[in-house]
Amino acid sequence: MSIIFGSSANLFNMGDNNNPRFNLDGVKDVKTVTVGDRTFVYTASPDEGGISGFEVMADGQLLGVANVSGLDQVENVAFAMIDGSTFLYANSGDTITVFQIAADGDLNLVQTMTGDAAPYINQIGGRMDVVEVAGVNYLVAAGNQTDHTGSALAAG
φ, ψ for residue 35 (rounded to 5)?
A: -125, 115
Domain chopping of the chain, boundaries: 2-114
> What pLDDT shows up at residue 59?
85
CA nearest neighbour of 97 among 134, 135, 65, 139: 139
| Digit-coded pLDDT (tens) for 49-71 | 899 999 999 888 889 999 999 98
pTM for the whole structure: 0.80
> What pLDDT shows up at residue 13?
60
CA distance 57 to 93: 33
Predicted confidence band of residue 72 (pLDDT cuts 50, 70, 90): confident
